[in-house]
């Protein structure tokens, strides 16, 4: 698989934005159970803001695209979500520093980079019923698959599966940090909306990389 230009990175963010917009209502409903019902709106608007900011210029190196993505997300989204994803993208930008193109392995590497940035900013531990309950297992899955010599697309499919399992596990958790922590035991029985939107991002990374496979030549008639 060829490496990707910054233009393709913009395309990747566009896909995440579309998937987030599709999930706007579903995320809003999850957040309505334990939060303020605006998680769908804020995630959709945050990624839309990224696309607006980065689409203006496709000549920036990948690290700068990622940095601008983080800054525009931070300007659009408040609560803890804004700073956490801004930190995720900043961590990813550091990892892409000096590169002129992005490889498939780099795309898979966005998962551990995002997880690292979020963990450093938010200090949430596994089981706290936050987005980390999806990001942490997904990051581990990428790193383990990488160690096992598996292809980037497989790393991302494992990450997606791990994130989904992590998201579903949040149903049985009691929120310990973040805004749902204010509900204590009342948060039991509900999926964490932050973990749900994390799955959407990770699934979109997988979907996008999957779609970048070289076209299969058509059979001669």
Partner 1 sequence: MQRLLNNPDDLVDETVAGFVKAHRDLVHLSPDNARVVVSNFAPKAGRVGIVTGGGSGHEPAFIGYAGRNLVDAVAVGEIFSSPTAKSFADAIRAADGGAGVAVLYGNYAGDNMNVKMAARMATKEGIDVATVVANDDVCSAPTTEREKRRGVAGEIFMWKIGGAKAATGASLAEVQAAAQKAIDACRSVGVGLGPCTLPAVGHPNFAIAPGTMEVGIGHHGEPGTRVELLKPANDVADDMLKIVMDDHALPAGSEVAVLVSGLGATSVNELYVLYDRIETGLTALGMKVHSALVGNYFTSLEMVGATLTVMALDDELKALFDTDCACAAL
Residues of the shown chain interacting with partner 1 in the complex, contacts defined by CB under 8 A? 28, 32, 34-38, 41-42, 74-80, 82-84, 86, 121-122, 177-179, 181-186
Q: Kindly state the smallest distance separating residue 179's Cβ from partner 1, in Å.
A: 7
Q: Kindly state the smallest distance separating residue 193's Cβ from partner 1, in Å.
A: 12
Between 18 and 181, CB nearer to partner 1:
181
Between 88 and 203, CB nearer to partner 1:
88
Q: Kindly state the smallest distance separating residue 108's Cβ from partner 1, in Å.
A: 27
Q: Kindly state the smallest distance separating residue 206's Cβ from partner 1, in Å.
A: 28
Between 70 and 109, CB nearer to partner 1:
70
3-class SS string, the chain = CCCECHHHHHHHHHHHHHHHHHCHHHHHHHHHHHCCCCHHHHHHHHHHHHHHHHCCCCCCCHHHHHHHHHHHHHHHCCCCHHHHHHHHHHHHHHHHCCCCCECHHHHHHHHHHHHHHHHHHHCCCCCCCCCHHHHHHHHHHHHHHHHCCCCHHHHHHHHHHHHHHHHHHHHHCCCCCCHHHHHHHHHCCCCCHHHHHHHHHHHHHHHHHHHCCCCCCCCCC
Between 7 and 25, CB nearer to partner 1:
25
Question: What burial class does residue 3 get, using C-beta atoms within 10 Å of its C-beta: 0-12 exposed, 13-18 middle, 19+ buried?
Answer: middle
From CA 66, how far away is CA 53, in angstroms rounded?
11
Q: Kindly state the smallest distance separating residue 82's Cβ from partner 1, in Å.
A: 5
Between 38 and 116, CB nearer to partner 1:
38
Q: Kindly state the smallest distance separating residue 173's Cβ from partner 1, in Å.
A: 16
Between 75 and 100, CB nearer to partner 1:
75
Task: Give the chain's radius of gyration (CA, Å).
Answer: 17
């Amino acid at each position: 698989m060829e490496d990707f230009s910054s233009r393709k990175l913009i395309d990747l963010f566009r896909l995440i934005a579309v998937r987030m917009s599709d999930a706007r209502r579903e995320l809003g409903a999850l957040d309505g159970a334990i939060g303020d019902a605006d998680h769908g709106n804020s995630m959709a608007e945050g990624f839309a803001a990224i696309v607006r900011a980065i689409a203006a210029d496709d000549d920036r190196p990948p690290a700068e695209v990622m940095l601008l993505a983080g800054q525009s997300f931070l300007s659009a989204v408040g609560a803890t979500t804004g700073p956490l994803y801004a930190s995720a993208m900043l961590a990813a930008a550091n990892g892409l520093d000096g590169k002129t193109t992005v490889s498939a392995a780099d795309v898979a590497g966005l998962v551990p980079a995002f997880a690292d940035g979020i963990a450093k900013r938010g200090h949430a531990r596994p089981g706290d019923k936050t987005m980390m309950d999806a990001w942490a297992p997904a990051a581990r899955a990428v790193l383990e698959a990488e160690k096992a010599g598996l292809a980037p697309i497989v790393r991302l499919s494992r990450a997606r599966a791990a994130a989904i399992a992590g998201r579903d596990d949040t149903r049985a958790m009691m929120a310990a940090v973040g805004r749902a922590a204010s509900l204590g035991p009342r948060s039991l029985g509900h999926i964490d909306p932050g973990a749900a939107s994390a799955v959407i991002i990770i699934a979109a990374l997988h979907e996008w990389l999957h779609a970048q496979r070289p076209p299969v030549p058509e059979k001669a008639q």
